[in-house]
């Protein structure tokens, strides 16, 4: 059963928003009344590194996805708040050896949806656009809660699914420090998971320990909406158990990457990012490239 537990986490970990995410300017200053629509696509390729005591080797994954997201800013007790939702579609192929047996699995369909609420507690009060453009930039301290809902495709008779059949929550705190055209961001969060009570081959309970995630970004703004960021993240934890058995599948990784934002007209922008594993003891060692297109508009 340990094999089911380990393999059952690979594809879902790569297709859902997880501890691997790197998002510069997540707590940047903004005015209230801003609404945005985002279309994105990503490609993950690479290997999966398991504990050397497990007879699982030569695991390779190729996973793609597209997503549509929407968000809006508003005032909450006098502070700036941002609410967003993302619906992803994923497809992928996973190959590897379990002992001496070769395995190959493909999947495509809906993955788990993501919802996020953030509030800038210090440094960015709720302001309309006219006030915002005149306000000086200050250090921002913010907090957020991200929720992954079990909306992805799930079949208890399959060892690997696009959906996790459980809820996941990540409370996070973040600090954004501006200095001229430079910005330095740091976030610390912890993923918590509810139990999957219908795990393979059906009717079994799979639980997972929390995952601690730390990320940092240094960005330089050339002009409004034209900026370049260098990104880094470290995450650890997430051992899983089936029916209270032996914990397996813990991750211990760090990654580096870069993100470029390019303005298109006055209300649109194009973003491209790349990241790769630096130190991967266990977990996914993916090379990830993602692109996104954003439309932004303001309430009058």
CB atoms near residue 201 (< 10 Å): 12
Q: Residue 280: what pLDDT?
A: 58
Q: Residue 99: what pLDDT?
A: 66
Q: Residue 79: what pLDDT?
A: 96
Beta-ladder partners of 234: 214, 254
Q: Rg for the chain (alpha carbons), in Å?
A: 20
Reading the chain (300 residues) residue by residue, the pLDDT tens digits are 444 444 444 444 443 345 567 899 999 999 999 999 999 999 988 876 655 545 566 778 888 899 999 999 999 999 999 999 999 998 888 887 766 778 788 889 999 999 999 999 999 999 999 999 899 999 999 999 999 999 999 999 887 788 889 999 999 999 999 999 999 999 999 999 999 999 888 899 989 899 999 999 999 999 988 999 999 999 888 888 889 888 877 778 889 999 999 999 888 999 999 998 876 555 567 889 999 999 999 876
Hey, where are the domains in the chain? Answer: 2-294
Cβ 161 vs Cβ 155: under 8 Å: yes
What the block records as the tokens of 109 is 């369909």
Q: Residue 299: what pLDDT?
A: 79
Q: Quote the pTM value.
A: 0.90
Q: Residue 279: what pLDDT?
A: 65
Count of positions (residues) in the chain: 300
Q: Residue 6: what pLDDT?
A: 43
What the block records as the tokens of 231 is 């990104």
Question: CATH topology for 2-294?
Answer: Lipocalin (2.40.128)
Q: Residue 81: what pLDDT?
A: 97
Q: Residue 5: what pLDDT?
A: 41
Q: Residue 282: what pLDDT?
A: 56
CA distances from 62 to 75, 219, 283 (A): 41, 30, 15
Q: Residue 240: what pLDDT?
A: 85
């Amino acid at each position: 059963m340990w094999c089911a537990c380990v393999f059952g986490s690979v594809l879902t970990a790569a297709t859902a928003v997880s501890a691997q995410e790197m998002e510069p300017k997540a707590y940047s200053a903004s005015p209230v009344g801003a609404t945005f629509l985002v279309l994105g696509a990503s490609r993950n390729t690479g290997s999966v590194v398991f504990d050397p005591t497990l007879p699982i080797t030569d695991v390779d994954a190729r996973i793609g996805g597209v997503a549509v997201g929407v968000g809006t800013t508003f005032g909450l007790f006098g502070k700036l708040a941002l609410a967003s939702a993302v619906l992803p579609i994923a497809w992928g192929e996973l190959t590897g050896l379990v002992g001496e047996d070769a395995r190959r699995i493909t999947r495509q369909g809906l993955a788990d949806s993501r919802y996020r609420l953030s509030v800038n507690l210090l440094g960015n009060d709720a302001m309309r656009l006219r006030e915002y453009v005149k306000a000086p930039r200050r250090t921002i301290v913010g907090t957020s809660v991200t929720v992954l809902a079990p909306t992805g495709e799930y079949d208890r008779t399959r060892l690997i699914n696009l959906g996790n059949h459980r809820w996941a929550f990540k409370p996070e705190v973040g600090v954004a420090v501006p200095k001229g055209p430079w910005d330095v961001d740091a976030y610390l969060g912890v993923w918590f998971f509810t139990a999957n009570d219908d795990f393979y081959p059906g009717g079994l309970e799979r639980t997972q320990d929390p995952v601690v995630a730390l990320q940092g970004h240094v960005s330089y703004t050339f002009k409004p909406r034209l900026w370049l960021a260098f990104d880094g993240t470290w995450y650890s934890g997430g051992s899983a158990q089936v029916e209270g058995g032996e914990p397996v599948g813990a991750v211990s990784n760090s990654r580096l990457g870069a993100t470029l934002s390019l303005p298109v007209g006055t209300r649109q922008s194009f973003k491209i990012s790349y990241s790769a594993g630096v130190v991967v003891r266990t977990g996914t060692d993916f090379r990830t490239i993602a692109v996104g297109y954003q439309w932004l508009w303001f309430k009058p």
